[in-house]
């Protein structure tokens, strides 16, 4: 059915098999670790919380001293967060604030809204239970417990967790070094006059944004004209000191498409043409020591192909353990009655009812569809969709970051 086209799943499996994860490790300040990939499992050097403490503003006391609501107790001390707690004398209460250490002898905290402060004493208008409003030492994390796993991408939650445990620096894999260039004599940069027959180079911005968002170190080689010698020279330059070369355009079969023969002349081409829509002319190979991925020149095709094929490859090359996105199963708010023989990825978002709706124009030139959308619908080859059918929805949160 798709003569010469590699099925999407097979192509993705092969591409991930080609990934060579970086091995060099460096330590970075936890404060600037966002987007990096953890290289070594991390264990907590302390318990969290590090001591028994109060979960509320209120009064710490012994449950045995409050056999009934309405008991009055003298207030023997005041304990603020960061302060020092003295052992609690029997028959007294301690004024305590959220996060403050629980005094020895106390076994509960009664929130201040259930108490009535009167001079040097407090009336407890509540019958407390042992452990009430108390956060026990280590109840969240035990000392020595594994808290962060090798191969995880570090986001704000992981950074906060590491900081809460006193981990000031983290071992991460070095950044993936990626060289990019766009091919096409018709391309001009925004800000330049748009001469007849020319188009603005949106792919350059898309690739830089996507790769930078994945934590890559990007070298931008600009625009390469539709010329075999110029393309070969750009590939040689891109291969120097880089792990990956990413190009846009020139990977189809037209007379002005020179990337494929240039890669074959400078290295090897191991995979070409995928049964996916948009994005059929995707190429993988190697140029010297660098991996090469050629994306379609059509901006929508390049965008979708990047998200579904190149993003997992980049993550795997960075050492990420789980590079594939997760999909949601949601009802369709559309009909898709004329399926394609290729795997289709449709620009979509959620409507007010939580159903998936499509951008009206699914053409490969409708770049506005990518900003209107909140994700992609994954439609298997030769599959029709009727309104109400469950579909696989891949939110941008799983694809862009």
Q: Which residues contact 193 (CB under 8 A, 6 or more apart)?
A: none
Confidence band for 364, pLDDT divided at 50, 70 and 90: confident
- Give per-residue burial for 233-253: e unless 16+ CB within 10 Å, then b: ebbebbbeebbbbbbbbbbbe
Q: Which one, of 316, 310, 298, lies nearest residue 364 by Cα? A: 298
d(C-alpha 310, C-alpha 320), whole Å? 14
**pLDDT number for residue 258:** 84
Q: Is the pLDDT of residue 30 over 80?
A: yes
In this structure, what token pair is assigned to residue 374?
């909140």
Angle at 115 between CA 114 and CA 116, to 5 degrees: 135
d(C-alpha 235, C-alpha 224), whole Å? 10
DSSP E strand stretches across 119-273: 121-124, 134-135, 146-148, 169-173, 177-183, 187-188, 199-200, 217-224, 244-248, 268-272
Phi, psi of 38 (to 5 degrees): -65, 135
d(C-alpha 324, C-alpha 337), whole Å? 28
Q: What is the DSSP letter of 288?
A: T
Handedness of CA 325, 330, 336, 339 (dihedral sign): positive
d(C-alpha 343, C-alpha 332), whole Å? 17
**pLDDT number for residue 251:** 72
Q: Which residues contact 343 (CB under 8 A, 6 or more apart)?
A: 7, 8, 275, 276, 277, 378, 379, 380, 381
Question: How many CA atoms does the CB half-sphere of 51 hold within 13 Å?
Answer: 14
The residues pairing with 141 across neighbouring beta strands, listed in sequence order, are: 48
Q: Is the pLDDT of residue 1 over 50?
A: no
For residue range 280-290, what is the model confidence (pLDDT) as tens digits? 888 999 999 99
Confidence band for 3, pLDDT divided at 50, 70 and 90: low
Element (H, E) at 129: none
Confidence band for 343, pLDDT divided at 50, 70 and 90: very high
For residue range 118-140, what is the model confidence (pLDDT) as tens digits? 999 999 999 999 999 999 999 99
Q: Is the pLDDT of residue 318 over 90?
A: yes
The model scores a pTM over 0.85 = yes
For residue range 165-177, what is the model confidence (pLDDT) as tens digits? 999 999 999 999 9
Q: Is the pLDDT of residue 185 over 90?
A: no
């Amino acid at each position: 059915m798709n003569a010469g086209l590699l099925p999407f799943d097979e192509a993705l499996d092969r591409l991930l098999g080609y990934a060579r994860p970086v091995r060099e490790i460096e330590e970075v300040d936890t404060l600037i670790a966002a987007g990096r990939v953890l290289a070594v499992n991390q264990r907590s050097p302390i318990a969290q919380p590090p001591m028994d403490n109060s979960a509320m503003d209120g009064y710490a006391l012994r449950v045995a001293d409050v056999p009934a609501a309405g008991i009055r107790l003298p207030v023997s001390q005041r304990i603020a967060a960061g302060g020092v707690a003295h052992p609690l004398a029997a028959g007294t209460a301690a004024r305590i604030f959220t996060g403050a250490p629980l005094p020895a002898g106390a076994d509960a905290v009664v929130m201040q809204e259930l108490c009535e402060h009167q001079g040097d004493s407090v009336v407890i208008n509540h019958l407390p239970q042992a452990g009430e409003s108390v956060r026990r030492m280590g109840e969240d994390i035990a000392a020595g417990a594994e808290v962060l796993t090798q191969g995880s991408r570090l986001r704000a939650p992981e950074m906060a967790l590491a900081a809460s445990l006193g981990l000031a620096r983290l071992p991460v894999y070095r950044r993936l070094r990626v060289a990019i260039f766009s091919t096409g004599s018709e391309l001009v940069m925004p800000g330049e006059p748009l001469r007849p027959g020319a188009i603005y180079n949106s792919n350059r911005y898309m690739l830089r944004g996507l790769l930078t968002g994945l934590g890559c170190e990007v070298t931008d080689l600009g625009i390469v004209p539709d010329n075999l010698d110029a393309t070969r020279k750009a590939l040689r330059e891109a291969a120097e000191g880089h792990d990956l070369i990413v190009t846009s355009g020139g990977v189809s079969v037209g007379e002005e498409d020179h990337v494929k023969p240039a890669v074959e002349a400078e290295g090897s081409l191991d995979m070409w043409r995928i049964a996916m829509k948009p994005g059929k002319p995707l190429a993988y190979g190697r140029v010297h020591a660098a991996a090469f991925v050629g994306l379609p020149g059509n901006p929508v095709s390049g965008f979708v192909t990047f998200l579904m094929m190149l993003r997992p490859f980049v993550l795997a090359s960075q050492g990420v353990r789980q590079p594939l996105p997760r999909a949601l199963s949601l009802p369709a708010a559309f009909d898709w009655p004329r399926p394609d023989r290729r795997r289709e990825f449709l620009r979509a978002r959620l409507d007010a009812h939580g159903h998936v709706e499509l951008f009206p124009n699914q053409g490969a030139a409708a770049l506005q569809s990518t900003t209107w959308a909140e994700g992609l619908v994954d439609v298997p080859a030769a599959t029709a969709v009727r309104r109400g059918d469950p579909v696989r929805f891949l939110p941008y949160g799983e694809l862009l970051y």
